[in-house]
Amino acid sequence: MNNQFKEQFGRYFLAGEFEEIYEKTTKSFQNLVSLEQFRQLSLDYNSNVSSYTCIVSNTFQGLDRHIWVDETYSKAVVIAYDRQDIIQAIYLKPFATYPNSDQIWTKNTYNMPINDEWYVFWGGTNEFINYHYPYEQQRYAYDLVKMVNNETYKNSTQRNENYYAFGAEVVAPADGVVVEVIDGISDNVPGEMDEENLAGNYCIIAHEHNEFSMIAHFKKDSICVKTGDKVKAGQLLGLCGNSGNSSEAHIHFQVMDHQDFLQAKSLRIKFHGGAEPIQGDFVKPSSASKPQ
């Protein structure tokens, strides 16, 4: 497959070049969906569309992924290629946006709650790169993992200790006062989820301007601050774990307008240096996050 096809996919799709696209899909896809079915679905989807624009191009879980949206930002076509340029996935789905809340940034400036390099697994302002986005309480949350050679683990996926994120330090994203700590919840076996304790072990910090940061899924018994403690940006809070509604070790980080994360509204985070990280980015701590 040449680069022109990838770069001009939206034009090919809108022009009805469905057979050429279909021939580049996997055999399993073709067994599920016939060419005629794909043609009809695509024709229907293209109704009232004048153009498609690629708004995201990244590498995610080993696939080269592109997100195309129509001129009204109401329809999305998501396509993912493997290293052999075979189309492994193609999604036709409404593109939901929340332009009002997208413009409400935190008044405070924050750092990621990290002290070395992490990878943004979920993050951004659409649901295709941030599964939190449709939900008001966590719309601008980030999930961070540690990635080495495009993998989050070594050897096997069966043990928490095999994940690079497990046991890594988690630090305060800004100065504040600890207002809630939950600890003592066991880490999950990788792949299993604890839906009764959604956040697992977590810490909530109150900041100026009535903003609250929440960091979740800490390792059991690793949180080293307590309610009432004053913390400085970059101060150790605990260790990354796999507790709560989590399938593998990662950091969940969000800022919100209320201490109760089930009732709060998520706020879009203003980061030091003006960074706006999204899925697929590697992020590092800013100099502002290092304790003085």
- The 3-class secondary structure across the chain, one letter per residue, is CCHHHHHCHHHHHHCCCHHHHHHCECHHHHHHCCHHHHHHHHHHHCCCCCCEEEEEEEEECCEEEEEEEECCCCEEEEEEECCCCCEEEEEEEECCCCHHHHCCEEEEEECCCCCCCEEEEECCCCCCCCCCCCCHHHCCCEEEECCECCECECCCCCCHHHECCCCCEEECCCCEEEEEEECCCCCCCCCCCCCCCCCCEEEEEEEHHHEEEEEEEECCCCCCCCCCCEECCCCEEEEECCCCCCCCCCEEEEEECCCCCCCCCEEEEEEHHHCCCCCCCEECCCHHHCCC
Question: What is the pTM for the complete model shown?
Answer: 0.90
Going from N- to C-terminal start, the domains of the chain cover 3-94, 100-289
Per-residue pLDDT of the chain (292 residues; tens, 9 = 90+): 567 889 999 999 999 999 999 999 999 999 999 999 999 999 999 999 999 999 999 988 889 999 999 999 999 999 999 999 999 999 999 999 999 999 999 999 999 999 999 999 999 999 999 999 999 999 999 999 999 988 999 999 999 999 999 999 999 999 999 999 999 999 999 999 999 999 999 999 999 999 999 999 999 999 999 999 999 999 999 999 999 999 999 999 999 999 999 999 999 999 999 999 999 999 998 755 555 4
Rounded Cα–Cα distance for residues 166 and 45 (Å): 43
CATH of span 100-289: 2.70.70.10
Fold (CATH) for 3-94? Nuclear Transport Factor 2; Chain: A, (3.10.450)
Closest C-alpha among 114, 259, 110 to residue 199: 259
Q: Do domains 3-94 and 100-289 have the same CATH topology?
A: no
What are the tokens at 98?
């929340």
